[in-house]
Structures are given as C-alpha cells and as structure tokens.
Amino acid sequence: MQEVSQISEFGKILVFLITGFVLTGGLLLLNKLIAPDKPNAEKLSSYECGEEPTGSSWVQLNSRFYVIALIFLLFDVEMVFVFPWATVFGSHELIAQDERWGWLSLAEMFVFMGILILGLIYVWVKGDLEWIKTKVVQPRVQVNIPASVYNKINEISYATIPFSTEEKTENIVVKEASATTVVRKPMFKPTLKKP
C-alpha cells in the first residue's frame, strides 16, 4: 500500500519560507532587545574599507562607473545562458537520440553570441567604453536670444554665501561689477534631522 503524503511539494516550500521568515525576524528582534545601543562618532562615521574617512560621504559618483558596471553585468549574465547551452550541447545522450539537438543548440548560441557581439560593437563605436572622452560635443540649439544677452549674464560676478547653522540677522552685501545690492537672508532656517 502506497502512503499518501500529508503535505504537497508546494506546501513543503511554503513551510520552509515561513520558517525562514520567522527565524530571521526572531533573530533581528532578539538582536534589537539585547544589543547595547551606544552610538559614538566612530560608529556613526562612514566606512571606507578600513581607511580614515575624509570629507563628506555625500559625494557624487562619476557616471562612468555605472556604464562600466552595466556592461560588466551584461557579459556576466551572458554566462548564465552559456552554461545551460554547454550542458545541452555536451550531452551525448540527448544528441544520440536526435542529432538535430546539437545543431539547433549550436545555431541558437551563434545567434545569442552574435547579438551580444553586436551590442559590444555598438557600445564601443559609441565611445562608452572610453574612460576619457576625446571628442567634445558642443550642444547646438535654435534660440531667438542674441549672444550679447548671454555675454552680459556671464560678465556678472556672483558671491557665494558659506552655509552656516548659526542664525544671523544681518543682511548680506553683494558687490557686483556695476552696483552694490543688498540681499535679504531667507526667512527660514533649514533643519537637519539625524537618523
């Protein structure tokens, strides 16, 4: 007599997932309850691979890093498709049953690799693989504003105001090339919340 399982295969996966979530949540809760909470300047500073952090951690990252990372991911994910192909192409039992499997898998891989190589050639010709762009592209727009207006704007000298958390009530005097202007301080004080 064949025994009937009390739980299906999907039920086993569900029990496994529920157990994983309960254990993970329980351990996080236990950590929150018993771990000491003593923040200091060293713990709250940004981690820079063991180096002493210098400057602010809010620095803009060069967008070229993203391009290189995306191209790396493209060719890294390619390997996920090459391994199953190699398994099918190298299976002597499958090819022995029908020789068309070998030719079909070979043709599919040539099409797949061809598309990837075309993508690489496109990125290469476009110049996205070059770290330093040698050709400067000047944007060209059709506007009805004369160039003298732009030149006047560029001739004005602007003063930068250093950021300070202290509240000041005096007005700031900005000296321009032609006249002295009084600029009023904003009526609000920015507040920063610490996490």
Which amino acid belongs to residue 88?
A: V
Q: What are phi and psi of 26, to 5 degrees?
A: -65, -40
Interval 39-53: pLDDT, tens: 888 788 777 777 777
What is the spatial distance between Cα 77 and Cα 158, in angstroms, rounded to a whole number?
50
Interval 120-149: pLDDT, tens: 898 888 877 777 767 777 778 888 888 888
Farthest-apart Cα atoms in the chain, separation: 102
Mean pLDDT of the chain, nearest integer: 79
Nearest CA-CA partner of 46 in 59, 56, 38: 56
| Per-residue tokens: 173 | 């005097």
Quote the percentage of the chain above a pLDDT of 70: 80
User: Does the pLDDT value for residue 57 go beyond 90?
Assistant: no
Q: What pLDDT does 189 receive?
A: 66
| Backbone region of residue 179 per phi and psi (left: phi > 0; alpha: psi in -120 to 50; beta: other values) | beta
| Per-residue tokens: 21 | 């979530």
User: Does the pLDDT value for residue 170 go beyond 70?
Assistant: no
pTM: 0.39
Q: Cβ atoms within 10 A of the Cβ of 105, count?
A: 20
